[in-house]
Amino acid sequence: MQFSSINIDNERSSVASTTLNVIVFAAVALLSLLLQPTPDDAFPYHYEEGKTWTYETLTAEWDYPLYKDEEKVKQERQKALESYAPCYRWVSYNKQSVPILSAKDMREVEKGGYDHITIVNNRHRTKAIPLSQIYTPKMAFEQTGREMDVNLQFDSVTTAEVYKGITESVSLTEGAVMKGETIVKYGEQITPEVYQRLSSLNRIYDQRGLSRQHVVWSYTGRTLLALVFVGLFVLYLITFRKPLWEQTRAPMFFCLLIALMEMLSALVLRLTDASLVYILPFTWIPILIRMFYDSRTAYFVHLTTVMLVSLSVPDPFLFLLLQLPTGMVAVVSLKDLTRRSQLAFTAIYILLTYAFVYTLYHLALTGDVSRIDLHIFLYFALNGLLIITVYSLVYLFEKMFRLVSSLTLVELSNINSDLMQTFAEKAPGTFQHSLQVSNLASEAAKSINADALLMRTAALYHDIGKLAHPTWFIENQNGGENPLLAMSNRDAARAVIAHVEDGERYAREHRLPDVVRMFIRTHHGTSLVRYFYNSEVNRLKSEGLDPGSHIHEEDFRYAGPKPETKETAILMMADAIEARSRTLDSYTEQSLNDMVEQMVAYQIEDGQLAETPLTFNDLSRIKQVFKERLKSMYHHRIQYPDLKQ
């Protein structure tokens, strides 16, 4: 009943994790849709004067006029309005009337820069009168000596009609494009003439607008594309990285990075020039994920991100053409991240890749170096500077998601750290054992493409619990008395087993990552402390007692758990083999080979490797590495002759 309960709990946990992961990935797809520009622009092309046309050759599907640009229309209207002047109507009129404006109206006319006004008579006929023939009451009195009243009143209605007539007389178009005529060819530079054809066509599209049916289909297409991109990544996780899919930490981390780049892209595209999107360091994603996980997963997350963002950028083809190879360079250049300086080199490689691919693309498209936009190289340089700042995000994500990066592992593997120095001083034999296990395990990990850096680091700390009672362990006794021999076999076994629990305590005190603590817990699995178990069995037999009735095997077994990954399994084997190698009477090739085969066979028979994903081929390679490394460690040396007296 106990085991069935555990299975039910695991199944419920797996279902809950899967459900949460599906919701999170669906949210990422939904976010992509919400951040995309609304389909209110019916013209499906992006173009800029002076740039290259990167779409297919465009041909007119119908006749349409060529619209003048706004500046030209403005200039023509200004020229036409040179004959325009405000209109005034007679208040009182006879043939002897002198046109008289109020002082206020006269100031307005002069302020407007007019040299005449237009007078409208009762028959709605207009006549232009030079401003030199118009008087104010004061001017008329000074001229004639008689007081005269204002007899002209501003006619706002007629003025507006005249202004409208003049401005509307200026044509908004000049020429036309006929049906079937080529508007722009693929790879052609967008000259002012081509730009006019495109902008005129764009205006026609805007006038027609998108029908409700087009809007529905646009949203449908975008939704399905986003779901396909996200779904393919989910399929990758389920198929090739199932352990990651069955947890919630990794999918949440991946989705957070994707959402972050989606939001940054939307912000840039909506508030600035679209080309500034190339300043954004999309390679943050493969770099960050490579620090915590494997290269293939890093590139798949990058691929998913740039495909989602490509649904929003003006030129998706160029965007993907630049982002895909730079993502590859980021992953490849960080294959073995062991120094901080590698990030700087990675940034340089990415910058050069951007520049190289962009240059080749435009040369292939136009064949003209002079038409390359030099501003974008500045954006690539800024992108490279931002890539270097990714280092500051590593520790943030380590704390948020309880992850451990390769840089942290490198720092932890420094044997000159305070903890390692204490380890070497208080338990020198165990420290040397840990160094040898670290070398064995990392080499074995390389042979099967496991995480060698993790192996090297974790092996250094796997026996850190022996610091609590270093003299209980023979490698630290230097030929002195063994305190465990004064205890009962059961108590001695419990004392040995306690170094795992003590190791957990030391790991928590020194804030070692969870992944390192996992190696401490599993490096003995649930194996027997065979020395004291066998001693107890022999003691009972010598006293004529039945060992099966008087020994509880659990008292002599480690609490586990058993190894569940390739790396923890390798450490268990390396630890046992290195310790056993120190007890051999002779170090021949045969004795070392037999010892390795015997120790691995025992762990398999005891079920310690049953829950790991190791294959027979993996085991064969691991054993071969162990044998070769042990032979190099214990090779025969030349005996130097003494000097004869």
C-alpha dihedral (425, 429, 434, 437), degrees to nearest 10: 160
Q: H or E segment at 144? A: helix 137-144
Strand partners, 154: 88
CA distance 346 to 340: 10
Supply the pLDDT for residue 213. Answer: 67
**Chain CA centroid to CA 517, Å:** 28
Complete DSSP assignment for 595-634: HHHHHHHHHHHTTTTTTS---HHHHHHHHHHHHHHHHHHT
- Under 8 Å CB-to-CB from 390, ≥6 apart: which residues? 281, 284, 287, 288, 343
| Matching residue, tokens 């009182």 | 92
Task: Fill in the DSSP letter of residue 450.
Answer: -
- Under 8 Å CB-to-CB from 374, ≥6 apart: which residues? none
CA distance 461 to 431: 9
Query: Where do the DSSP E strands lie in 317-420?
Result: none
Residue 530 phi, psi dihedral angles, 5° rounding: -65, -35
Q: All domains of the chain, ordered by start, with CATH?
A: 58-68+172-209 (no CATH), 72-168 (no CATH), 214-267+282-401 (no CATH), 413-633 (1.10.3210)
Residue 167 phi, psi dihedral angles, 5° rounding: -65, -35
| Matching residue, tokens 């046992």 | 576
Task: Fill in the DSSP letter of residue 643.
Answer: P
Query: Where do the DSSP E strands lie in 178-222?
Result: 182-184
Supply the pLDDT for residue 544. Answer: 83
SS3 119: strand
Supply the pLDDT for residue 371. Answer: 74
Amino acid (one-letter) located at 320: L
Strand partners, 89: 120, 153
Residue 130 phi, psi dihedral angles, 5° rounding: -60, 145
pTM: 0.70
Residue 84 phi, psi dihedral angles, 5° rounding: -85, 145
10-residue averages of pLDDT along the chain (645 residues):
35 74 93 77 73 84 88 90 90 78 92 90 84 91 87 91 90 90 88 89 73 72 92 95 89 95 92 89 94 92 96 89 96 76 89 94 81 87 92 86 86 90 94 94 94 93 94 84 88 93 94 92 92 89 83 89 94 95 87 94 94 94 94 69 67
- Under 8 Å CB-to-CB from 572, ≥6 apart: which residues? 522, 523, 524, 525, 563, 603, 608, 609
CA distance 372 to 52: 9
Supply the pLDDT for residue 272. Answer: 85
CA distance 399 to 389: 17
CA distance 527 to 562: 9
To 10 degrees, what angle do helices 295-310 and 212-240 make? 180
Amino acid (one-letter) located at 7: N
Judge whether 346 and 387 are in contact, CB under 8 Å.
yes
**Chain CA centroid to CA 388, Å:** 14
552: which 2 tokens? Answer: 């509880």
Q: Indicate the burial class of 486 (C-beta count within 10 angstroms; 0-12, 13-18, 19 or more).
A: exposed
Compute the residue count for the chain.
645
Task: Fill in the DSSP letter of residue 488.
Answer: -
- Under 8 Å CB-to-CB from 104, ≥6 apart: which residues? none
Considering Cα of 43, then 46, then 47, then 52, what sign does the dihedral take? negative
- Under 8 Å CB-to-CB from 485, ≥6 apart: which residues? 492
271: which 2 tokens? Answer: 């508030």
Provide the b/e sequence for 75-105 (b: ≥16 CB within 10 Å): ebeeeeeeebbbbbbbeeeeeeeebbbeeeb
Q: In the chain, how many H helices and how many E strands?
A: 26, 8
CA distance 425 to 408: 24
SS3 563: coil
Judge whether 66 and 197 are in contact, CB under 8 Å.
yes
